[in-house]
């Protein structure tokens, strides 16, 4: 999955603790090299951001998303990625003003959660009149219609494994989202990373499920308009902290100015 000529680059990412635990188990069970596999997945998904997200976050929206990933929720994880992959992630997240850690958490979330949670997050929706509780499997017929690469069967198991690794890691999910879009004529429904995850999307999970949380907003890449709840409160809090930071910087500048003036006065007295 990686060659000895690769130039590797370590990146430190704050990952939601339940995702780390689940990723490690799945990687071990699949006999995969964690960083080699994650490298390929992140490279593909970072490139997909350009196709699936057309408008960048505003500075405030980026801060809002980042603020939802709190220190008590995460553990720092080092990933050794190819320099090319690390640069693609950095450049795309910078171009679209996406919090890098939220993007990586979202990708790992999609890799490790069971299908019933994917159903709850992406296939349960309402149109203002009705609530639709669909399932991803209900759209499996669309896998041959969607233009995403799907898996071919081959005589060698090693070739099949490599085929999976080289393919879009979420080709089936994207195909089913495409089917949902076609069935209900929902604009943009097939754009995976443009899909909004509600704050309470994981709040109804059983208490013994480590993925249960009252705040899933950190799993979003993008925020358009006032899509997030309590946005006005966040803006007021942000303005307050900006005001405090501005006052702090002004006090620092005054102290430095007084210090320079004092040094100048001392120099004059010594002469």
Same domain (yes/no): 216, 255: no
Does any domain span residue 203? yes
Beta bridge partners of 11: 79
Give the pLDDT of residue 229.
Answer: 56
Prediction pTM value: 0.79
Same domain (yes/no): 151, 249: no
Mean pLDDT of 215-224: 92
pLDDT, one tens digit per residue, over 52-92 is 998 999 998 899 999 999 999 999 999 999 999 999 999 99
Same domain (yes/no): 123, 242: no
Does any domain span residue 187? yes
Same domain (yes/no): 97, 169: yes
CA-to-CA distance for 264 and 267, rounded, in angstroms? 5
Same domain (yes/no): 158, 34: yes
For residue 260, the surrounding DSSP H or E stretch is helix 231-270
Same domain (yes/no): 245, 151: no
Scan for tokens 């040094």, then name that residue: 263
Residue 188's Cβ-count burial label (10 Å; 0-12, 13-18, 19+) is exposed
Pairing state between β 8-16 and 131-133: unpaired
pLDDT band per the 50, 70, 90 thresholds, residue 139: confident
Q: Which has more pLDDT, 134 or 107?
A: 107
Same domain (yes/no): 214, 246: no
Same domain (yes/no): 71, 87: yes
Does any domain span residue 26? yes
Q: Count how many domains the chain has.
A: 2
Does any domain span residue 45? yes
Same domain (yes/no): 22, 147: yes
Same domain (yes/no): 210, 244: no
Does any domain span residue 3? no
Q: Are 74 and 16 in contact (CB under 8 A)?
A: yes
Point out the least confidently predicted range of 78-92, 201-215, 239-253: 239-253
pLDDT, one tens digit per residue, over 7-42 is 899 999 999 999 999 999 999 999 999 999 999 999
For residue 74, the surrounding DSSP H or E stretch is strand 74-82
Mean pLDDT of 227-236: 55
Given a cut of 60, is residue 239 above it in pLDDT? no
Domain that holds residue 210: 8-229
Same domain (yes/no): 124, 26: yes
Given a cut of 90, is residue 224 above it in pLDDT? no
Mean pLDDT of 146-162: 67
Give the pLDDT of residue 107.
Answer: 98
Same domain (yes/no): 91, 147: yes
């Amino acid at each position: 999955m990686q060659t000895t000529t690769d130039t590797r680059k370590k990146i430190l990412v704050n990952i939601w603790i339940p995702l780390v635990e689940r990723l490690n188990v799945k990687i071990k069970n699949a006999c995969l090299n964690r960083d080699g596999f994650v490298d390929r997945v992140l490279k593909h998904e970072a490139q997909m951001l350009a196709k699936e997200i057309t408008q960048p976050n505003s500075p405030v929206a980026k801060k809002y998303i980042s603020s939802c990933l709190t220190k008590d929720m995460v553990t720092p994880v080092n990933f050794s990625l190819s320099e090319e992959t690390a640069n693609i992630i950095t450049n795309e997240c910078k171009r679209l003003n996406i919090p890098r850690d939220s993007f990586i958490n979202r990708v790992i979330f999609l890799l490790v959660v069971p299908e019933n949670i994917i159903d709850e997050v992406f296939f349960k929706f309402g149109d203002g009149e009705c609530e639709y509780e669909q399932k991803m499997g209900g759209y499996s017929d669309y896998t041959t219609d969607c233009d995403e690469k799907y898996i071919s069967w081959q005589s060698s198991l090693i070739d099949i494994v490599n085929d999976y690794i080289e393919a879009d890691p979420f080709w089936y999910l994207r195909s089913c989202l495409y089917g949902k879009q076609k069935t209900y004529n929902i604009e943009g429904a097939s754009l995976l990373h443009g899909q909004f995850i509600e704050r309470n999307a994981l709040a109804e999970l059983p208490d013994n499920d480590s993925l249960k949380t009252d705040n899933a907003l950190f799993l979003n890449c993008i925020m358009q308009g006032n899509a997030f709840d309590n946005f006005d409160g966040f803006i007021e809090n942000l303005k307050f902290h900006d005001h405090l930071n501005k006052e702090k910087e002004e006090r620092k500048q005054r102290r430095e100015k007084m210090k320079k003036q004092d040094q100048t006065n001392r120099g004059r007295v010594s002469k």
